[in-house]
Amino acid sequence: MSGRDPRAPGWSRLLGRGLLTLAAVAFLTVFLLLPLATVFVEALRQGMGAFFASIGQDEARSAIALTLLVAAIAVPLNLVFGIAAAWVMARFEFRGKALLGAFIDLPFSVSPVVSGLVYVLLFGAQGWFGPWLESHGIGIIFAVPGLVLATMFITLPFVARELIPLMQAQGNEEEEAARVLGASGWQMFFRVTLPNIRWALLYGVLLCNARAMGEFGAVSVVSGHIRGLTTTIPLEVEMRYNEYDYVGAFAVASLLALLALLTLVVKSLLEWRYGGELALHAPGGR
Amino acid sequence: MRRRRILPGFNLGLGYSLAYLGLIVLLPLAALAWKASGLGFDGLVRLLRVPRTLAALKLSFGGAALAAAINVVVGLLVAWVLVRYPFPGRRLFDAVVDLPFALPTAVAGIALTALYAPNGWIGQWLAAVGIQVAYTPLGVLVAMVFVGFPFVVRTLQPVLESLERDVEEAAETLGAWRWQVFLKVILPMLAPTLLTGFALALARAVGEYGSVIFIAGNIPMKSEIAPLLIVQNLEQFDYAGAAALGVAMLAFSFVLLLAITLLQRWSHRWAEGAP
């Protein structure tokens, strides 16, 4: 494989480079791009008419509305948590800081199914609060609040994970200067901190939102799959697929695939344009 | 310890973070631990030793370990090419690496199934040589490789970029062959990073649900993964069985999370202390 004389970039070395590059590109194309292409090909298998008919159905519309609702609650809440947690983690030293960091990361390493299971054990009919909730007529499991909670659990780390390394790298000086010059806490936050972290914040919200809208495992456990009431887009994909409505399943799935593509494009643009202000971060945007 | 702080918001930030984490993450996890502790250690072991459960755990852990190992090899190749060899379209392919992160798991699941089914684009070629991927343990492996792939590449890239080339050049000047340089100089320097990537890909694949269940076929004792068994236990109102499996998987997550933290610390020190 390799050149006899390593100092001369001979043809054999160029050939080796070419072959390695070809292998990498071939893998990425067959293994990652082809599944993406499949989604759109299968969705359009019976033409545009069938495609639009199946995403225009009532169940699809209510699934889209529910997905947007869940993300609209979960993402802002995790945004506020992310800022609060990053502020504490990046600006202060305190006992138990490493433990707090580990807890913030925890949802990333828990199986989505386990994330759903814990809420069933907490709020389900046989759970800790199940009997009390039932006697008061409050439904969490097999209802929208359960979907929101499971999504919050799964997407909790995204914003904090983007902000912590960036804010640590930026240091305390600018904010301390603002305080010394007489700014109030909130003035300092809105005029110094927020402008400094805006692109990383957007980046974190982007990833958080993509996961919130696409989450399947955790949501599947707490949903109960009640059509029109507790099915988000990914659950609608599953139900259609299990009913052998392949075109319908891929049609709805293609909406999520478009969201994924949009997320990747915006993410890449942010990385190219504002790479320095993102402080590229721990592996796995996840 | 109690030096006066110039910056405000410590108590507010910490209080809010802890309350939110407590409600959303810790309280629910405590419910699982409580449910499992009610079974007692013997009860837990008895529930996990049911042959069907054991088979599912074996497939989830074995498949995930194999998938992570495959990802280490392929991920190293892809990361190496993306960092070292400029080629047209490199930025595009670099962005493509994140596809498994961005594509919702259910979508990836049905797409992989369509692709690898015996009449699919890839499946028909494999069927011609007698290999069936969809609805077999091999399908589980394919899905697990897919979801874990970005972890190894994204862990390796920054380390490869910062790798000092003088060591390689010195070895080459001393007459080492290209593959000798790779095996004896580059690979040892990358070892902690490769292990970190392995652990991250493993953690993801063990718990993976959405992308696996469609392609797996879910045949009990054969191609049924542990998370699916949790879902089925819940559907049959077998909360004890679900909690036993859930707590076993959670314990494994904790151990892996600890290992990843230690590995990352090690590789940072390795990177800083490297000659």
Q: What is the pLDDT of residues A162-220, one digit of tens each?
A: 999 999 999 999 999 999 999 999 999 999 999 999 999 999 999 999 999 999 999 99
CA angle A31, A33, A37 (to 5 degrees): 120
pLDDT tops 80 at residue A46: yes
Number of alpha carbons in the 13 Å side-chain half-sphere of residue A108: 28
Using a CB-CB distance cutoff of 8 angstroms, which residues of chain A are in contact with residue B102?
Answer: 210, 260-261, 263-264, 267
| Contact between A256 and B103 using a beta-carbon 8 Å cutoff | yes
Q: Which residues contact B36 (CB under 8 A, 6 or more apart)?
A: B44, B243, B244, B246, B247
**What mean pLDDT is predicted for residues B124-148?**
95
pTM: 0.91
- Tell me the pLDDT tens digit for each residue of B94-106: 999 999 999 999 9
Residue B273 is predicted with a pLDDT of 56
- Tell me the pLDDT tens digit for each residue of B236-273: 999 999 999 999 999 998 898 888 888 888 877 766 65
Mean pLDDT of chain B: 90
**What mean pLDDT is predicted for residues B116-140?**
94
Interface of B with A in 126-185 (CB under 8 A): 145-146, 149-151, 154-155, 158, 172-173, 175-179, 181
Name the residue in chain B with its Cα closest to that of A125: B237
| Contact between B104 and A21 using a beta-carbon 8 Å cutoff | no
- Tell me the pLDDT tens digit for each residue of B2-32: 455 788 999 999 999 999 999 999 999 999 9
| Contact between B7 and A284 using a beta-carbon 8 Å cutoff | no
pLDDT tops 50 at residue A229: yes
Residue A40 is predicted with a pLDDT of 97
The DSSP 8-state label assigned to residue A119 in this structure reads: H
Residue with tokens 């919050």, as numbered in its chain: A152
Using CA atoms, how far apart are residues A133 and A108, in angstroms rounded to an integer?
29
Using CA atoms, how far apart are residues A112 and B44, in angstroms rounded to an integer?
21
Residue B98 is predicted with a pLDDT of 94
